[in-house]
Amino acid sequence: MRRLLAVAAVVLLAPGAAAAAPSGSGLYAENCLSCHGPGGSGTARGPRLRGVGAIAADFYLRTGYMPLLSPGDQPTRRRSPFTARQIDALVAYVASLGKGLPVPRPHPERGSIPVGLRLFTEHCAGCHQVVGEGGYVTGARVPPLEQASATQIAEAVRIGPYLMPRFPRTQISDRQLDSLVAYVQWAKHPDDRGGWAIGHIGPVPEGLVAWLLAGTALVAVCVVIGKRNEA
């Protein structure tokens, strides 16, 4: 929805950009060349893009990871400065630089959530936390997964952005990937029971509730009950 609005805004505000088909190589020269070098040959500031394929370009651009603001940073999710059509053009351009994987088409509806949970615990939870709430690993902030789309989940698994390892087909088959995607999608709004879910990360917010809610309430009760009955 948010993306739609953004696109709509750009379309309304810049009719020129929407009318002319954006040029991939032009956008690349303007926004990416300084780090990735001419023709994706790579520089000290950014890796080679020949052969990373549409899959990597699609993921890095639609998550807003690229263009990176400063070369040393970990890419983080933000709103992309490009329109959807500009992204299409850039993806096509990067894909044309060398052979690489196309954008995957996962089918979460064919997957199974329990199988996905098992795979996720085995391969991903050590970094992403079992319900996909993210965490810290040496050298990186592991992002929560609540904003990743089905395609982006599949892409991330295959390309392994930043410190994340790459999981090729030999390790996670396409069928397993469907289950994995189904699980991650489900975990965004898991089957909650037992009342107010305080973040699905367990003890840290639980401790806050124990102290701030229960502790305060009970001390207040003590103060009220213990008040001297001046009679």
Partner 1 sequence: MIRSTVRFLDERSGGAPFLRKALRYVFPDHWSFLLGEVALYAFVVLVGTGIYLTLFFDPSTATTHYHGEYQPLHGLEMTHAYRSVVDISFKVKAGLLIRQTHHWAADVFVVAIVLHLLRIFFTGAFRKPRDLTYYLGLTMLALALLEGYLGYSLADDLLSGMGLAIGYSVLMSVPFVGANLAELVWGGPFPGTPAFWSRMYVAHVFLFPLLIATLLGAHLLLVAARHHTQFRGPRKTERKVVGVPTFPGQTPRSLGLMSAVTAVLFLLGGLVQINPIWLWGPYHVASGTNGAQPDWYLGWLIGALRLVPGFDVTIGHYTLVPNPFWGGALFPLVVFGFLWAFPWLERRFTGDHAFHNLLDRPRDAPWRTAIGAALFTWVALIFLAGSADRVFVTFFVSYGWQILFFRIAVWVVPVVVLLVTRRVCLELQASERVERERELAEEEARRAAAPEPVR
Q: Is 196 in the site for partner 1 (CB under 8 A)?
A: yes
CB of 207 closer than 8 Å to CB of 199: no
Stretch that binds ligand HEC, among 48-56, 96-104, 193-201, 212-220 (CB under 6 A): 48-56
First CA to last CA distance, the chain: 64
| 66 contact choice in ligand HEC, partner 1, none (CB below 5 to 8 Å, kind-dependent) | ligand HEC
Distance between CA atoms of 202 and 195, rounded to whole angstroms? 14
Name the 3-class secondary structure at 122.
Answer: helix
The three state secondary structure string of 95-113 is HHCCCCCCCCCCCHHHCCH
- Binding-site member from 10, 89, 131, 153 for ligand HEC (CB under 6 A): 153
- Residues numbered 185 to 214 that lie near ligand HEC (CB under 6 A) are none
CB of 80 closer than 8 Å to CB of 105: no
DSSP letter assigned to residue 146: T
Stretch that binds partner 1, among 28-36, 48-56, 166-174, 195-203 (CB under 8 A): 195-203
Binding site for ligand HEC (CB under 6 A): 31-32, 34-36, 45-47, 49, 52, 56-57, 60-61, 63, 65-68, 70-71, 74-77, 90, 94, 123-124, 126-128, 137, 140, 142-143, 145, 147-148, 152-153, 156-157, 159, 161-165, 167, 180, 184
